[in-house]
Amino acid sequence: MRGRALIEEAGNRAASNYRDGRAIEFESLAKVEGDDWGYTLEIERFEAKVGGSDETTPIALRITCIFRPEDGQWKLVHRHADSITELQPAESVVQS
């Protein structure tokens, strides 16, 4: 996927799964800054109503963000989020 419009579309589609939420905590696990790039790794904890549910559910996501400097400011160039917030056995990657 490339281009701002496609990225915004993907972000909006992902965000549409959550509503009436609030951030709880951002746990920083790593932050590295080089001359031409930087990245952060965090656990993002929040609560929200997921999908069609009317119940608020606690959610934790592992977030990796990659940045590059542009015109003296750091710009986000990639963000990845998944629900793996604890160690998993090696077999967890095998598809049945």
Residues 6+ apart with CB under 8 A from 24: 45, 46, 47, 58
Residues 6+ apart with CB under 8 A from 88: none
Could you tell me the domains of the chain? 4-86 (3.10.450.50)
pLDDT, tens digit (0-9, with 9 covering 90-100), for 83-96: 888 888 899 889 88
pLDDT, tens digit (0-9, with 9 covering 90-100), for 22-31: 999 999 999 9
Burial of residue 60 (number of CB atoms within 10 Å: 0-12, 13-18, 19+): middle
Rounded-to-integer distance, Cα 48 and Cα 25, Å: 13
Q: Which two tokens stand for residue 75?
A: 């710009």
pTM: 0.76
